[in-house]
Amino acid sequence: MQAITPATPAVSAAVSTLASTLAATFVNIAAYKFITLDDTEAMRPLYQEQCLALELKGTILLTPEGINMFLSGTREHIDNFLAWVRSDERLADLECKESLSIEQSHKRMLVKLKKEIITMRMPLIKPELGRAPSVDAHTLKRWLDAGVDDAGKPVVMMETRNAFEVDVGTFNNTLDYRIDKFTEFPAVAAAHKDELEGKTVVTFCTGGIRCEKAAIHMKEIGYDSVYQLDGGILKYFEEVGGEHYTGDCFVFDYRTALNPKLEPTETVQCFVCRAVVTPRQQLAPEYVYEVSCPHCFHKTSRP
């Protein structure tokens, strides 16, 4: 009888990846576009009807400055929905980022009317009228490999996300000003402008949407070399993986965090205080499912 040759680690990893892909039955999309929408109230019931008919779960924000969507469903239903959305000529070029999962990444479907796609409270910043310069994932990786951009300027990464998101993972040696909400970013960017003179600053966030406003603001207050990472961290993971990045990427759905392979991790959010709880923190005695975690244990009233 011929001996069976043990699988190499590379083969085992490939088989594991294939098995995970075959098991993943749901497509999760993130999409946004800054475009004037003056009929959001009329749009809302139409979007609700489509999502209900296609059994989609997630959140859609309809605002006067555009649309923002996080949705989960079967491939067929997601494709049908996107075809319907793109039949509106204002959204014909809507682009999406995708990941796969074995469960729908959201538990319910909400279509909301908001004043802004992402709250910054600076109404004069209108990405629809012109984006700040962007850098794609492959170019950014090349810059980070070299430490300088194509003009020879040192490259500095700047966070636009909230501190609790950054704690899950971020680019190496990034500037993290520990903001608690995006409305704090304009003042922080202005306060640190002088110390970044002569450097190329690349702003980034989860999917790119915050940077659409952040990078414009930075250009307007005098940053001479600022870019936004096109598609954000998720697009970077999709195109080049996790080089120059440590940790995972926080996402606003039940998965909590995705690794550079865009796979869900064991990181969770506390049911009580919504703090991010890492796998190591889940081993602590203070972590009791749906009761407490190390972040809120001493603040939670005990029976």
| Residues annotated as part of the active site | 205
Q: What does residue 179 show for φ and ψ, rounded to 5 degrees?
A: -75, 150
CB neighbour burial string for 265-295, b if at least 16 within 10 angstroms, e if fewer: bebbbbebeeebbbeebbeeebbeeeebbbb
